[in-house]
Homo-oligomer: A and B are copies of this chain.
Amino acid sequence: MKSLFQDLTSLLVQNNIRPSYQRIKILEYLHGHHIHPTADDIFNALISEIPTLSKSTVYNTLDLFISNNLARLLSIEDTEARYDIVMNNHGHFKCVSCGEIFNFDIDIENTVIKELDGFSIKDKNVYFKGICAKCLQANTHE
């Protein structure tokens, strides 16, 4: 019986990425926290367990994961980069009140855009913004 640590190690090796401790821990964090964290979130979550961890390593590792299609970058705001390990296509809703980013299903993969005929599409993102149900309710109780 394999541990998660071992599974993630295999995943890295399969992608020709050396399974360093830092890389496995960052990957493990992304797998365990589908909250679309920032690089800073990841750094702060791991710094107690890896006291020597550098933010450069977090950025380098995330770039590495992205270029190997193990993670994707969300640019829902131009002020902060967020990362998502869930690679199947889905949309994102950011609540401007609480900041949480929600996932939702949307079929954009099979939509044909005739204006983009002859274009090579590598990445499709659907970003919504607004106020989530929880925050809407909280406001009515004011």
Within 8 A of B (CB), among A107-131: 108, 111, 113, 115-131
Q: Which of A79, A102, A124, A136 has the most CB of B within 10 A?
A: A124
For A111, the chain B residues whose CB sits under 8 A away are: 106
Residue of B nearest to A113 (CB): B104
For A108, the chain B residues whose CB sits under 8 A away are: 126
Residue numbers of A with Cβ under 8 A of B are 73, 75-81, 91, 93, 95-96, 102-106, 108, 111, 113, 115-133, 136
Q: How distant is the Cα of A117 from the Cα of B33 in the complex, in angstroms?
A: 24
Q: How distant is the Cα of A111 from the Cα of B111 in the complex, in angstroms?
A: 13
A72 to chain B, nearest CB (A): 11
Q: A119 is contacted by which of B105, B118, B122, B136 (Cβ under 8 Å)?
A: B136
Please tell me if the beta carbons of B91 and A127 are within 8 angstroms of each other in the complex.
Answer: no
Please tell me if the beta carbons of B113 and A131 are within 8 angstroms of each other in the complex.
Answer: no
For A123, the chain B residues whose CB sits under 8 A away are: 128-130
